[in-house]
């Protein structure tokens, strides 16, 4: 399952690169998720529905959700979901965002 623990591990793995939000915002990347099975992309959202400055699981589609906590918050989504970024309507994996920012 894709969880907040996995997000933390990804952030550590991509620290110092354009594969994390703090290092690619200047290139107009927005944190997002993609279901690799369907290709559907969702921008990361805060609890109030506004775009989030980092990867959060709030507001992802119900059919992506694998587990919720006792108050209904999403704690895990399907393995087919990956984190990445959207820029100019195109989804980039963390690897692709890191490569993009290295080249600019």
Average pLDDT of adjacent 10-residue blocks, the chain of 104 residues: 96 98 97 98 96 96 97 97 98 98 93
For 44, phi then psi, to 5°, come to -65, 140
Distances, alpha carbon 68 to alpha carbons 1, 10, 20, 74, in Å: 12, 21, 25, 4
What is the structure's pLDDT at 21? 97
Q: Is residue 104 part of a domain?
A: no
For 5, phi then psi, to 5°, come to -65, -40
CA distance 77 to 82: 10
How far apart are the two ends of the chain, measured CA to CA in Å? 34
Number of domains composing the chain:
1
Per the structure, the complete domain to which residue 29 belongs is given by 2-99
């Amino acid at each position: 399952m894709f969880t907040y623990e996995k997000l933390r591990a990804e952030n550590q793995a991509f620290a110092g690169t354009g594969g994390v939000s703090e290092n690619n915002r200047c290139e107009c990347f927005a944190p997002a998720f993609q279901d690799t099975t369907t290709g559907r992309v969702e921008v990361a959202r805060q609890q109030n529905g506004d775009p989030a400055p980092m990867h959060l699981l709030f507001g992802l589609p119900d059919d992506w959700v694998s587990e919720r906590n006792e108050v209904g918050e999403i704690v895990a989504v399907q393995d087919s979901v990956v984190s990445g970024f959207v820029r100019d309507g195109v989804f980039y994996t963390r690897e692709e965002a890191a490569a993009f920012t290295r080249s600019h």
